[in-house]
Structure 1
Amino acid sequence: MAIKLIVGLRNPGSAYEQTRHNAGAWLVTALAQRHNSHFKIDKKMQAELTEIDINNHPCRLLLPLTFMNHSGQTTRIISQFYKIEPGEILIVHDELDLPVGRIKLKTGGGHGGHNGLRDITAQLGTGEFHRLRIGIGHPGHKDLVHQYVLSRPSMHDRQQIYDAIDRGIAIIPIVLSGDIARAMNQVNA
């Protein structure tokens, strides 16, 4: 099944723009820029939206205007409006359980403690969507997670995250064609 919607999870606003938690939005923003596509704010949909077309595979890009913990509401509104099934959605998000700079493509599963994924799963009524997980590393103790995800990465970590984003963007044409298994083999290797 081809992907028709790519969602970059984030917290909106300049205070959060450069934080680890926004790594998903960094990828989706970079993807739009590489395809000369510009986001437009749609307040009714609570989103910034644009479209790209790669090899005759059109896809909408979404950056929610809601905070991370309410990403599901916007994702549901957009998917219902455009008649996009959960299996046609790719959620791009930060991942504490991957080392900094790793990236993995996954289909289905739980939320793994990620509140954005938790809300999307609740709003869509299923976890059967695709996820592109960008490793941001873990601070070492669960009590440090909140502060860690809302802080800016070091220059070294930021470069590793950008390198992972480049690898993620490289598989998007394969993902849009619907060959998720091939994309997984390429990016998860």
Structure 2
Amino acid sequence: MAGIGSCRLIVGLGNPGSEYAGTRHNAGFDVADRFLARHVKAFRERNARGGEAREGSFAGEKLIVLKPLTFMNLSGNAVLPVVRGESLKPSEILVIYDDIDLPVGRMRLRKNGGSAGHNGMKSIIEALGTENFPRLRIGIGTDGSKRDPDYVLGRFSGAEREAYESLLDKAVEALELLQRRGIEEAMCRFNPVNTAVRPEE
């Protein structure tokens, strides 16, 4: 059975290259990779201009997972050709990206919104001509300096890494529920999640 209001394109944002792997700014890549690893048999490689993409079926719907390889501030250049080629509506696109306004261990699903200063989101909003598409924000915390390149391109500490790795699993579960049951149910279930808080013994 097809998902209720499911997305047809999931975009994970990050920067290409081994020097950026594991950095805070690559949270979108990390979630996309973990989702694909969990459903590896359901997806196959497909051509995508300016990006790395896989195509398959999930919850009865065709689904494309895209990682733009254009560097963050040109992400829209990789997203727009897929959107046009597949004749997608904005509501069928979900973008996953890092958010310094959320602490490590938290995430937020939203139906729409602005870029909040995120260059990858700015690029996609400009390319699509609208802010009205769903997004999943992954908390990376802050050192108090907004968009400090040294911070967002840095790596998680030991305690943060543990919370972040747990959050990646929860983010994949959120995507799965969104595809099966719609964004409203996924928001209610996963927006309260905080993997940085240990359950009481």
1:120 maps to amino acid:
I
Equivalent residue number for residue 38 of structure 2: 34
2:66 maps to amino acid:
L
- 84-93 or 53-62, which deviates more: 53-62
Q: For residues 58-95 of structure 1, what are the alpha-carbon distances to aligned partners after superposition, in whole Å with 9 as ceiling and x for unaligned?
A: 31100111100111111111111111111101101011
User: In the TM superposition, what are the counterparts of 1:156-167 in structure 2 within 5 Å?
Assistant: 156-167=159-170
Q: 1:93 aligns with which of 97, 104, 120?
A: 97
Equivalent residue number for residue 78 of structure 1: 82
- 31-40 or 76-85, which deviates more: 31-40
1:35 maps to amino acid:
H
Q: Is 2:110–2:136's contact at 8 Å kept on the other side of the alignment?
A: yes
2:102 maps to amino acid:
L
Q: 2:172 aligns with which of 169, 173, 184?
A: 169
Superposed displacement of residue 177, structure 1 = 3.4
Q: Do the aligned partners of residues 55 and 2 (structure 1) sit closer, same or farther apart at CA in structure 2, a change above 3 Å counting? A: closer
User: In the TM superposition, what are the counterparts of 1:7-86 in structure 2 within 5 Å?
Assistant: 7-37=11-41, 40=45, 42=47, 45-86=49-90
Q: Gapped runs of 5+ residues in structure 1?
A: none
TM-score (norm 2): 0.87
1:23 maps to amino acid:
A
Matched, 1:111 2:118: no
2:170 maps to amino acid:
R
Superposed displacement of residue 12, structure 1 = 0.4
Equivalent residue number for residue 134 of structure 1: 138
Aligned to 1:53, the other structure's residue is in SS state strand
User: Counterparts of 1:56 and 1:40 in 2: how far apart (Å)?
Assistant: 19
TM-score (norm 1): 0.93
Q: Is 1:32–1:52's contact at 8 Å kept on the other side of the alignment?
A: no
Equivalent residue number for residue 155 of structure 1: 158
Q: Gapped runs of 5+ residues in structure 2?
A: 193-201
- 129-138 or 45-54, which deviates more: 45-54
Greater C-alpha radius of gyration: 2
User: Counterparts of 2:88 and 2:75 in 1: how far apart (Å)?
Assistant: 16
Q: 1:179 aligns with which of 179, 182, 197?
A: 182
- 47-56 or 8-17, which deviates more: 47-56
Q: Is 2:13–2:72's contact at 8 Å kept on the other side of the alignment?
A: yes
User: Counterparts of 2:113 and 2:54 in 1: how far apart (Å)?
Assistant: 27
Q: Percent identity among equivalent residues?
A: 39
